[in-house]
Chains A and B, each alone.
Chain A
């Protein structure tokens, strides 16, 4: 797949934006501006950005807690996201849901997730099923984790996707751990993608730290879905580079494993490719990073200045 330099610049921007926002959010948490839990997506940038970029404007996406990049690509601005983290009324859920949970906006084709994993999986299959019933050439995409793949609902939803041959792209982010639980306590097989065959649709394994591989696999799956050929399961192998959530020092993760995955950092690899193609140098990179830092400064200021929701509205919106 030949990708234009404009497209690559965009992808670069989104991955760097996701990473910088992630890093900065940790600082905001330390400053006490973000209270409660917080999830890092460090190491998942190629997956969330690469997959989201494979969708068309009318497609829908249901990201999970490692997919900050996907929300950004689909149009949640850093301002709305930081305000969400701060629990402000200008945040995506207007202070109703915590951290990156509940960041849905149907006008952007985004469905927010609930904690019960993988609850977004059947919802995504349902959206895809709806597109099929209505004869609309649209695709629904979602993400779930290696741990979530052990839930019974995963089986129900994958089977349903197959039975109704729906235009869904199901992405499993295999990041080696589910909270503290390593893969070998989660399953006795090598590849989660192998399970797709048992449902009757293709499963592919890709290097989740290679933007190009993720984007290619996702694009092919989106094309298949749009052509009416049904769902695809894409397993992206990666590593959760920070604790499960901010409170977790992940003492249970062997140091060497992290070192090994640090060598495969998705952004470093992507930038290396850009440099090889003559599309990036040190000056361009620092220019980009300055721009992104400024964008996040602005988002943080916006969130700082945004009011908290009025407690008087606590009961509002339970019903339409």
Chain B
């Protein structure tokens, strides 16, 4: 059965689904219980599952992630909500040094999920708009996923909760309520981690992207279709592990690659994808690998500044035209 729901409702649905299925799953975060979360993602869950499974915590991200690892060692499956992804840096050490390395070092898995509402476009300024994925993609031992649709918001979160490794689940604040979509129910909608999805098939150029930029890319592809160009849009869905095969397949198909993400450009996921393509698909390329990403600055607040900062369909279309003409 399919149901219409927002991206935010799909996240809540996944949490409730997994909590009903597995009594070991619990939620922790700041203001997630009585208040229902800063974005109301967890609204209603306290009533259904009680305060021992929907735990309002002190303001203490570093401790929270460490506590989650400890709970994982005693056979619980904690899902931590970082109120805004920007505050994940306060919990950084517990994620990258403790949770991420543990299985490699002495073999005990750390099945935790860290949910972090990320991204801008909402006039929220430098500390409520960040896209910190590259830090975690650079960290061995973590998985990093970022859904672009309600179906994946639900399906990837279910997979994250079932995964025996620490998973960073970056959810798009921009899409929370602006995006609705039909979402599968039950086990049908479980999205495997590490498998990209073609959102639009095309022959002339591939846009490789993820998260909210998938929708900007689709808009740009629509615009260019009217101009006679056929664009393919690949939604990575999982940044670690990366679906290298899907990336190389689309490159072989179109020979032109435009990588798009909202995060700033320097040492970003886009750079890694470009390197992979240069190494493994050089002979297929019929033009430079191009990137559209945010400039290397903090995320500015004022609307004209943020609009200049954040990639959108117009900039993506302009870059695509340039590459098509190459």
Q: A125-B67, A130-B76, A318-B140 are in contact. Are A114 and B103 (CB under 8 A)?
A: no
Q: Name the one of A106, A112, A160, A317 contacting B67, with C-beta atoms under 8 angstroms.
A: A160
CB distance from A148 to the nearest CB of B (A): 13
CB distance from A316 to the nearest CB of B (A): 8
* Interface residue tally for chain B (C-beta within 8 Å): 38
CB distance from A295 to the nearest CB of B (A): 23
Q: Interface code A168-184, partner B: CB below 8 Å = 1, 0 otherwise? A: 00000000000000000
Contacts of B101 in A (CB 8 A): 114
Q: Are A125 and B97 in contact (CB under 8 A)?
A: no
Stretch of A92-100, A190-198, A203-211 at the chain-chain interface: A92-100
Stretch of B40-48, B106-114, B172-180, B262-270 at the chain-chain interface: B106-114
Contacts of B64 in A (CB 8 A): 122
Q: Does B52 contact A (CB under 8 A)?
A: yes
Q: Interface code B99-124, partner A: CB below 8 Å = 1, 0 otherwise? A: 00111111111000000000000000
Q: Does B311 contact A (CB under 8 A)?
A: no
Q: Does A103 contact B (CB under 8 A)?
A: yes
Q: Name the one of B70, B93, B94, B104 contacting A127, with C-beta atoms under 8 angstroms.
A: B70
Stretch of A27-35, A151-159, A251-259, A266-274 at the chain-chain interface: A151-159
Q: Are A319 and B165 in contact (CB under 8 A)?
A: yes
Whole-angstrom CA separation of A320 from B76 in the bound complex: 16
Whole-angstrom CA separation of A70 from B71 in the bound complex: 22
Whole-angstrom CA separation of A274 from B273 in the bound complex: 68
Chain A contacts with B in 72-92, Cβ cutoff 8 A: 92
Which residue from chain B places its CB closest to the CB of A160 in the assembled complex?
A: B63
Q: A114-B98, A319-B141, A320-B109 are in contact. Are A159 and B69 (CB under 8 A)?
A: no
Contact residues on A (Cβ < 8 Å of other chain), bracket? 35 or more
Q: Are B106 and A92 in contact (CB under 8 A)?
A: yes
Q: Name the one of B66, B69, B74, B105 contacting A97, with C-beta atoms under 8 angstroms.
A: B105
Q: Name the one of A102, A126, A133 contacting B66, with C-beta atoms under 8 angstroms.
A: A126
Whole-angstrom CA separation of A96 from B165 in the bound complex: 18
CB distance from B75 to the nearest CB of A (A): 8
Chain A contacts with B in 105-136, Cβ cutoff 8 A: 105-106, 111-112, 114-116, 119, 121-131, 133-134, 136
Q: Are B105 and A123 in contact (CB under 8 A)?
A: no
Q: Does B68 contact A (CB under 8 A)?
A: yes
Whole-angstrom CA separation of A58 from B179 in the bound complex: 48
Whole-angstrom CA separation of A116 from B52 in the bound complex: 29
Q: Are B66 and A123 in contact (CB under 8 A)?
A: yes
Q: Does A231 contact B (CB under 8 A)?
A: no
Contacts of A123 in B (CB 8 A): 66-67, 69-70, 73, 98
Interface residues of A, Cβ cutoff 8 Å to B: 60, 92-94, 96-97, 101-106, 111-112, 114-116, 119, 121-131, 133-134, 136, 138, 140, 152-153, 156-157, 159-160, 163, 317-320
17 A-B pairs (CB sep. < 8 Å): A96-B104, A104-B102, A111-B70, A112-B106, A116-B93, A122-B64, A123-B70, A123-B98, A125-B63, A125-B66, A126-B73, A130-B71, A133-B26, A153-B63, A156-B58, A157-B63, A320-B109
